[in-house]
Structure formats: structure tokens, C-alpha cells
Amino acid sequence: MACYQLVLLGLYEDYKDELVGQLTLQLDELGVGDAALAIVDEDNEAAIDARLPVVAVFFGGAGEASRPHPALRRLLEDSIQVIPVVSDVHCVSDQIPEELQHVNALARGTLGVVRLATLVLESFRLLRRERRLFISYKRSDSQLVANQLYDALDAQGFDVFIDVRSVPPGVDFQAELWHRLADSDVVVLLDTPGFRESRWTTEELARANATNIQILHVLWPGQAREDETSFSDFVDLTTSDFDLEDTGATLSSNTVGAIAQRVERLRARAIAARHRYLVDSFCDSVRDVGMQASLQPERWIAVTDSAGRELAVVPTVGVPTSERIHRVFQDISGHGRHFEAMWLLYDDRGVLGYWLEHLSWLDSYLPVRTVTVASCDALVSGGAV
């Protein structure tokens, strides 16, 4: 049974199969399954079910700005998000109807359909909107490539952590590094000949493995895969991947594009693995004391205690912020059910101490309580539910 609806408008025929294919891949990674998503074409406007989360994509083209689109008007009147797609951002006025021209358009291109699929899933809140990325490397070996990937991935909309650009002077470098790693979806690990000699980079790999963060392991020519990298997704570079075939220089634009595409596709797998860890850990704690826990289609957990009281628990990937807490409150409050309490569940490994203190302070003022995986057993067995 469908839980979400995607409406396709405009000149979508040439892109429909590729977009649905990308969505199917990412939904499978998330463990949701493509049966949860219903595709509605513009000509079948009557099939739109306002009770379901709905996102629309308008595929623009020459002359589409002047052609009538009754379904688009209805969607906008119902405050449904419509993502415009154009051949080039400079062609919006010709390819997109006037009522949609104030919305930032996505340009088709090498990453266009992959990026569009993630935008759709972000709109359904199956993928978090924060796009956090961590580049791990050894400065003396791959600074130029790290900078190159930073610029490319930043342009793709990622919030990229790279030490020399992301840690201000006077800040505890190692603590800030672990905190940002805990809030990242994917680690891009540049495995150069000297990379494995660094204690910090080796620890980053171990921490990423332990916390289900996905790793895109970029191997320089001659670097072999090792047992501790078995959880990684690999890119095996050859000398032809570098400009001028100089492995100390920058990567070719095609190779940078291929790495960026792999990163985009790994996000769903990363979030799925971390979400699954949170769900499994919490449900095990609840069921151990004889209470019922059920995972809802929107990926939050409903818990019922022996007195029939209900608790809503929202597994949240990454470090909680006030914005995320607010979003949880809005989502759960909209279900029209009375909950004894609402919890935001997260993994606190690597999170800075002052941030944990900040969350503890917020808990005394906000209707949503932040709860760590490590504290679940004690809270549940102690009757906190």
C-alpha cells in the first residue's frame, strides 16, 4: 500500500523511467520498498490523494511556460511542494510556468536525476535535509585532491567538513573532528600511500565503521584493500584518473563527477543503516520489559505501556539541533493522537560534551525530550515510558 505520492508534470516522459529507477534504488537502501511510493502522472490528477504526503516534479522544456497546467495550479493551491527541473538555470523563463518561476530550479545534467531522487526523498523526510559529508585524508599526500573534492561537493549542496577549512583556530581539533564525524552521512576517505601511517585517519575509519557511517574509500594506484576497510564502498583510481597522469596532482573532472555521484547514492544506505541501529536498539529495550513497540510507515516508533499510555519515539540520525527537535514536534503533533511523551532518539557517540549539556538544558523547556541510545535500557526499565 502506498504511503507517499510523487506527481510528475510537464515533459516528464523522457526522464520518468530513470527517476523511478533511482527512487527504487534509494528506497530499497532505506528499507522502505518501492511499493510505498505511488507515481501519479499529470493527466491523472484525480488520483492525487491529499491524505498522503505528496511531492511534485515539473520537468520544464521549450514552450512549457505558456502551456496550461491545471494540475500544477491545484498542487500550488494546496501548498504542495513542486520541484522545477530545467535544461539550464538560465532557461527558467521559457521552460517553467510563471507561478513556479520563484522556486529554485534544478538543472538536468550528469547528477541531475540522482540529485532529484534525493530531493524527493528529503521532501518526504525519508532522508534528512542536512547533507553532511566528511573528507578524511593526509595533508602531505592529497591536499590538492581534498580541496578539489571539497569544492565539487560543496557546489553539489553538501556541508563538507575538511579540517583546514572547517576547524577555527583555538578549537580542540580532535573533539571537533569526532563531533562532525558523528553528524556526517558519508566519509570520503582518500587512501594515499602515506594515509595509513596516520593514527588520526585510522581512528576515523574505525569510528565510521562502528557507527554505521558509510565510507567511500578512494584508493590511490597501488593501494590494496585491507580487512578493516571491508565495510567501505570502493573507488579504485588509476593513473589515468589524474590530470597529466600525475598522482600528486588533481583528479580529472570526469573522476570528480563519478565520486560525487557515488557519494550521492551512498546517502540513503548511510541513513538507513544508522536509522536501523536506533530502531533495533530501542525496540529491544522496550520489548525486554514486556511493552509493545511498532514502527510506523513514517519511520517513527509508537510505544504502549501496560497502562495503555502511548509514547512517540523518533529515531534521528546525526546530532540533534533545535530545528530538528521542532520538526519532530510538528510531525508527531500532526498525527492527531495523544502521546504521554515524545522522544527524539539519537546516538551520542562522538558528540561534544557542551552539546550534550545544551540538549539536557533544552529538555527542561521543550515538549520533546532528547534520549540517547545508551540510556534506553535504564529509562525503559525504570518506568520512564
Task: Dump pLDDT digits (tens) for 129-144.
Answer: 888 999 988 888 888 9
Q: What's the confidence (pLDDT) of residue 241? A: 92
Q: Is residue 356 predicted with pLDDT exceeding 90?
A: yes
- Residue 121 makes CB contacts below 8 A (sequence gap 6+) with 23, 26, 27, 30, 127, 268
Confirm if 199 and 228 have CB atoms less than 8 A apart: no
Instruction: List, in sequence order, every residue forming a beta bridge with 345; answer none if it has no partner.
Output: 315, 371
Residue 297 β-bridge partners: none
Domain annotation for the chain: domains and CATH numbers = 4-123 (3.40.50), 132-270 (3.40.50.10140), 274-381 (3.40.1350)
CA distance 37 to 53: 10
Place of cell 597522469: 245
Q: Per-residue pLDDT for 8 more than 90?
A: yes
CA distance linking residue 234 with residue 262, whole number of Å:
9
User: Residue 320 — very low, low, confident or very high, per pLDDT cuts 50/70/90?
Assistant: very high
The reported pLDDT for the residue numbered 227 is 66
Nearest to 190 by CA among 159, 155, 150: 150
DSSP 111-149: THHHHHHHHHHHHTTSS-S--EEEEE--HHHHHHHHHHH
Whether 150 shows a pLDDT value over 90: the answer reads yes
CA dihedral 215, 219, 223, 229 (to 10 degrees): 10
Locate all alpha helices (DSSP H) within the chain, ordered by sequence: 13-30, 70-77, 92-95, 112-123, 139-155, 163-166, 173-182, 199-210, 253-288, 322-333, 353-363, 376-381
Q: φ, ψ for residue 34 (rounded to 5)?
A: -70, -15
Convert 319-339 to b/e letters by CB count within 10 Å (16 or more is b): bbbeebbebbbeebeeeeeeb
What is the distance between the alpha carbons of residues 162 and 263, in angstroms, rounded to a whole number?
Answer: 16
pLDDT 10s digits, 15-66: 999 999 999 998 888 888 778 899 999 888 888 887 788 999 999 988 888 8
Per-residue pLDDT at 171? 62
Spatial separation of the C-alpha atoms in residues 319 and 323, rounded to whole Å: 11
- Rounded to an integer, what distance in angstroms lies between the CA atom of residue 187 and that of residue 211? 12
Q: How far is CA 39 from the centre of its chain?
A: 22
The larger pLDDT score, comparing residue 352 to residue 32, is at 352
Q: What percent of the chain has pLDDT over 90?
A: 28
